Amino acid sequence: MTTVLKSVTIVDPKGAHHNQCVDIHLEEGLIQAVGENLALPQDAQVIELPNAFVSPGWFDTSVVLGEPGYEAAETIANGLHTAASSGFTEIMVQPHTLPVADNAAVIHLLHQKALGQATAIHPIGALTMGSAGQALAELYDMQQAGAIAFGDYKKSMKNANLFKIALQYVQDFKGRVLAYSEDENLRGNGVVNEGSTATRLGLKGIPGLAEELQVARNLFLLEYTGGAIHIPTLSTAKSVALVREAKARGLNVTCSVAVAHLVLTDAVLESFDTRYKLSPPLRTAQDREALWEGLRDNTIDCITTDHHPVAIEGKKVEFDLALDGSIGLESAWGALAAVLPMDLIIEKLTAGRAIFGLPPAVIAPGAAVNLTLFTTAETGTFTADQIRSTSKNAALLGQPTRGKVLGIAREKHLIIN
C-alpha cells in the first residue's frame, strides 16, 4: 500500500531533514520520497495528523515480556502490541522467562512468536545457565540464533573470574555483555534507597555503594580484558561519574537509565505503594540531577523503559515482600517529555541500535520504513485507562505528561493510535 504522511515535522538531529515540515511517501516498506508538497499518488492513503512530529523509530534496550512461563504477567503478542502503541518499533527482550532464555531453542521460539508483529524483537540471551551465575550459557549458539547481547536480568555476576572469562569469550564474535551492577551482599535485605526517607519510613535501605562498587569492579575487569559492556539502569551520581571517567580512558562501555529514575525520586515512597519498589531503587533528587547531566554530556548513552510486568500477586502484598518492577512502555514518552527536551529524548530513545550493532533508522529516500509519530503540546497525567499491558504495576501512574504517541510505521506495518 502507498501511504503519505502529510505535513509532519522531522525530529532527527543526525539526519538531513531535522526540524523540516515535510511529506513522507511510504511504499512497499521503503521511504520513496521526503519533501514539501509531494505529488500524491492516486491510490495513496494520506495520513494527516495535527501538529505531528516524526522521528526514527524508538528502540528500547530492556523489556520483559514474560512469555514463555510468565504469561499471567504478559504475553509476547500483547507486549508487542503495547510497545507499538507506545511508539517503539524495536525492543530488546530480557531472558526473564521460564525456562530462562539461555539456549538457541528459546531464542528461536521468541523470534517465531514475534513474526508478523509491527514491533520487532531482539532477544537478549542469558549470560549464565539458568541465570544462576554458575556457568556460562551457550553464548555463541545463541548469537547465531539471533541473540543481540548477553546478560542475566537484574542479577550481578558474583564471580569476577567468570565475568572476566565472559568478556574475553564474546570478543571472538563481537558480542556485548550486559553488566547489571549491584553487590548483593551490600544490598542485603534492603528494599529502598538508603537515606533519610528509608529511615523515616522504617524500611531497610540499599546503599548507592552497592551499585557503585559493582560498577567499579566491572569497569576494572573491562579494562583488563578489553571487549565491550553495557551497564543497564544506572541510578546514582557516583555511578555516572565512574562511567564518565571510564569513557575518558577509552573503555568501550555504554550505559542506560530507566525512565522512572529520570522522573521519580525516593520521596514518592511516603505512600508505601509497591508500584514504586524497583531495582535499582528510586534514589534522591541529587542523583536524578546527575542522571539528567549524564544524558546531556553523553555519559549515559540511552534511555530505557525497563518495562517489567509483574502479576498482581507480586505487588498486592506488604512492601518488603513485593516483587521489584514496573511497566513503563505506555508512560515513557509523556513522562519524559514533561521533564527533558524533545531532541535529547529522541536521541536517547534511538541510540540503542548503534550500541548493539544494528543499522540506523534513517529518514531518507530508499531507507527502510522505521518511524515513530508523536506530538509534544498536550499536557495531562498518566492514567490507568492508558495502560495496555496485562499487568498494571505502573510506577508513573498520576505523573504529569506532555504530548502523546500517535503511532509507528515499520516496514509494511502502520499502526495509528
Please say whether the dihedral angle defined by the alpha carbons of residues 313, 318, 324 and 330, taken in this order, is positive or negative: positive
Predicted pLDDT of residue 39: 86
Predicted pLDDT of residue 41: 80
Predicted pLDDT of residue 367: 97
Same domain flag for 400 and 255: no
Same domain flag for 94 and 141: yes
Residue 34 lies in a domain: yes
Last residue of a domain, one of 323, 355, 387: 355
Predicted pLDDT of residue 352: 97
Same domain flag for 114 and 262: yes
Same domain flag for 31 and 125: no
Same domain flag for 24 and 74: no
Residue 388 lies in a domain: no
Predicted pLDDT of residue 187: 96
pTM metric for this prediction: 0.97
Residue 360 lies in a domain: no
Domain around 10 = 2-53+365-378+396-416
Residue 384 lies in a domain: no
The count of structural domains within the chain is 2
> Hey, which residues are catalytic here?
306
Residues of the chain with pLDDT under 70: none
Predicted pLDDT of residue 63: 98
